[in-house]
């Protein structure tokens, strides 16, 4: 069940929310250091983590599910937010180069349907990042953040879900090794907790961050060209290789603005 968008925005305005935005955003930016000229879609409540890319991407749209509600985003610019049904996105096929899912797979009623829509709107070889609460982590057991209200995943569960929806997992990381707390002493030592936790107990991070690539299947003959029986095999299209698809340009481009 989705949390109300007003509560999500209020959380990320708090000191704890701003800290989580930084701690989770750091491994995301390592996975995606540069998205210059690309098209980025956020599903769920991904705006806080899309913000570093707004100056360089070709277009960025925050798709906020109807049960959650939507707010103007980014705050200081023309809105690039769309209120959507997460299982029926209002975008053409192969419209985005990257998709970011935050507070989506853990709150929606049908995660596979959401991923199938994400697959549809991605270009061949496009990349996706999913951020979900870790079943082993303490943050999934705490109500201090939105990660304590949704469906937690183990690493193997999330990988299996992505593979079942025609995604090939390329990288996975964990974040939020600090204990869930608003205490100032804990918050001040958050980056120390992150460094220690990543080395000592990497499987117990509060959230899982997983990158996956869209897999496209092509039809191939089984026994030579004359056979009418065909099989499907995955085709991996490297990033940056032309696909022959003509991208559709959006009406406007999102600019930088604090969420």
Q: What is the pLDDT of residues 106-153, one digit of tens each?
A: 999 999 999 999 999 999 999 999 999 999 999 999 999 999 999 999
- Counting residues of the chain whose pLDDT is more than 90, the rounded percentage is 76
pLDDT of residue 110: 96
Cα gap 104→89, rounded to integer Å: 13
Dihedral pair phi/psi, residue 258, rounded to 5°: -65, 140
Q: Look at 43-47, 97-101, 203-207 and tell me which has the smallest mean pLDDT.
A: 203-207
The β-bridge relationship of strands 96-102 and 122-133 is parallel
Residue pair 176/186 in contact (Cβ under 8 Å)? The answer is: no
Q: Which helix (H) or strand (E) holds 208?
A: strand 207-214
What is residue 68's DSSP assignment?
A: T
All residues at 6 or more sequence positions from 10 whose CB lies less than 8 Å from its CB, including other chains: none
Determine phi and psi for 126, rounding to 5 degrees. -65, 160
Please choose, from the candidates 96, 12, 31, 83, the residue with its C-alpha nearest in 3D space to the C-alpha of residue 57: 96
The answer to whether the CB of 102 falls within 8 A of the CB of 62 is no
Band of the pLDDT at 223, cuts 50, 70, 90? low
Q: pTM for this one?
A: 0.83
Can you list the domains of the chain with their CATH numbers? 5-235 (3.40.50.150)
pLDDT tier, 247 (very low <50, low <70, confident <90, very high otherwise): very low
How high is the pLDDT of residue 77? 84
**pLDDT band for position 1 (cuts 50, 70, 90):** confident
Q: What is the pLDDT of residues 157-201, one digit of tens each?
A: 999 999 999 999 999 999 999 999 999 999 999 999 999 988 898
């Amino acid at each position: 069940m989705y949390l109300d968008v007003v509560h999500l925005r209020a959380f990320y305005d708090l000191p704890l929310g701003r800290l989580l935005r930084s701690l989770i955003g750091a491994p995301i930016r390592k996975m995606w250091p540069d998205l210059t000229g690309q098209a980025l879609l956020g599903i769920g409540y991904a705006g806080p983590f899309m913000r570093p890319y707004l100056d360089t991407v070709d277009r960025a749209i925050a798709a906020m599910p109807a049960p959650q509600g939507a707010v103007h985003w980014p705050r200081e610019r023309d809105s690039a937010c769309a209120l959507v049904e997460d299982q029926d996105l209002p975008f053409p096929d192969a419209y985005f180069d990257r998709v970011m899912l935050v507070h989506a797979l853990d709150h929606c009623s049908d995660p596979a349907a959401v991923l199938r829509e994400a697959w549809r709107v991605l270009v061949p070889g496009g990349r996706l990042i999913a951020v979900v609460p870790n079943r082993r982590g303490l943050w999934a057991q705490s109500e201090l953040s939105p990660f304590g209200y949704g469906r937690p995943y183990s690493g193997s569960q999330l990988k299996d879900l992505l593979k079942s929806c025609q995604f090939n997992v390329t990288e996975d990381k964990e974040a939020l090794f600090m204990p869930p707390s608003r205490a100032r002493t804990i918050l001040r030592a958050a980056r120390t907790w992150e460094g220690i936790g990543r080395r000592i107990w990497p499987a117990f991070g509060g959230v899982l961050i997983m990158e996956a690539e869209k897999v496209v299947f092509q039809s191939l003959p089984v026994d030579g060209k004359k056979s009418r029986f065909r099989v499907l095999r995955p085709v991996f299209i490297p990033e940056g290789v032309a696909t022959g698809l003509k991208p559709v340009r959006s009406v406007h481009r999102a600019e930088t603005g604090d969420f």
